[in-house]
Amino acid sequence: MKTPQLTPLAASLPATVPFVGPEAQERQSGQPFVARLGANESAFGPSPKAIAAMQEAVKDVWMYADPESHNLRQALARHHAIPAETIMVGEGIDTLLGLAVRLYVGPGDHAVTSAGAYPTFNYHVAGFGGTLHAVPYKDDHEDPDSLIAKAVEVGAKMIYIANPDNPMGSYHDADAITRMIDRLPDDCMLILDEAYIELAPDGTAPDITLTRPNLLRMRTFSKAFGMAGARVGYAISTPQLISGFNKVRNHFGMSRISQAGALAAIADTEWITHIRQEVTTARARIAQIATENSLRALPSATNFVTIDCGRDGAFARAVLAALIQRAIFVRMPFVAPQDRCIRVSCGPSVQLDAFAAALPAALKQAHAEFE
- DSSP string spanning 83-120? -GGGEEEESHHHHHHHHHHHHH--TT-EEEEETTS-TH
Tell whether omega for the bond before 14 is within 30 degrees of 0, i.e. cis.
no
Tell me how far CA of residue 68 lies from CA of 58, 120, 212, 234, 359, in angstroms. 19, 25, 23, 12, 47
DSSP character for 218?
A: E
Strand, coil or helix: 68: coil
Region 117-144: mean pLDDT is 97
What DSSP line would sit under 263-282, residue for residue?
Answer: HHHHH-HHHHHHHHHHHHHH
Please give the share of the chain, as a percent, with pLDDT higher than 90.
Answer: 96
pLDDT for position 299? 98
308 pLDDT tier (thresholds 50, 70, 90): very high
The pLDDT value recorded for residue 39 is 95
> What's the pLDDT at 1?
80
Query: Residue 264 has what pLDDT?
Result: 98
**Above 90 in pLDDT, residue 9?**
yes
Q: State the pLDDT at residue 345.
A: 98
Query: Which three-class secondary structure state does DSSP give residue 157?
Result: coil
**Angle between the 256-267 and 70-80 helix axes, to the nearest 10 degrees?**
20
Ranges assigned E (strand) in 237-337: 296-297, 304-308, 328-329
pLDDT band at 20 (very low <50, low <70, confident <90, very high): confident
CA–CA separation, 297 and 35 (whole Å): 19
Q: How many Cα atoms are found within 13 Å in the side-chain-facing hemisphere of 178?
A: 12
Give the tens place of pLDDT for each residue, 88-116.
999 999 999 999 999 999 999 999 999 99
pLDDT at residue 241 in the model:
97
Summarize the confidence of residues 177-203 as an average pLDDT.
Answer: 97
Phi and psi at 131, nearest 5°, equal: -110, 125
Q: What is the pLDDT of residue 364?
A: 97
Confidence of residue 2 (pLDDT cuts 50, 70, 90): confident
% of the chain with per-residue pLDDT over 70: 100
State the greatest distance between any 2 C-alpha atoms of the chain, in Å, as a whole number: 64
Total residue count of the chain as it appears in this document: 371
Write down the pLDDT at residue 54. Answer: 98
Distance separating alpha carbons of residues 245 and 100, to the nearest angstrom: 7
The CATH number that domain 48-267 falls under is 3.40.640.10
Sign, CA dihedral 210-211-217-220, equals positive
* Buried/exposed code over 242-268 (b: 16+ C-beta within 10 A; e: otherwise): bebbeeebeeebbbbbbbbbbbbbbbb
Whole-angstrom distance, CA of residue 116 vs CA of residue 154: 20
Q: What pTM was computed for the model?
A: 0.96
Mean local confidence (pLDDT), 250-261: 97
pLDDT tens, position by position, 28-37:
999 999 999 9
Topology adopted by domain 19-45+270-369: Aspartate Aminotransferase, domain 1 (3.90.1150)
What is the average per-residue pLDDT within 235-257?
97
| CA separation for the pair 346, 36 (Å, rounded) | 10
Summarize pLDDT for 134-178 with one digit per residue, the tens: 999 999 999 999 999 999 999 999 999 999 999 999 999 999 999
What are the boundaries of each domain within the chain?
A: 19-45+270-369, 48-267
Per-residue model confidence (pLDDT) at position 346: 98
Residue 201 pLDDT more than 80?
yes
Quote the CA–CA distance of 333 and 193 in Å, as a whole number. Answer: 18
Tell me: the pLDDT tens digits for 311-358?
999 999 999 999 999 999 999 999 999 999 999 999 999 999 999 999
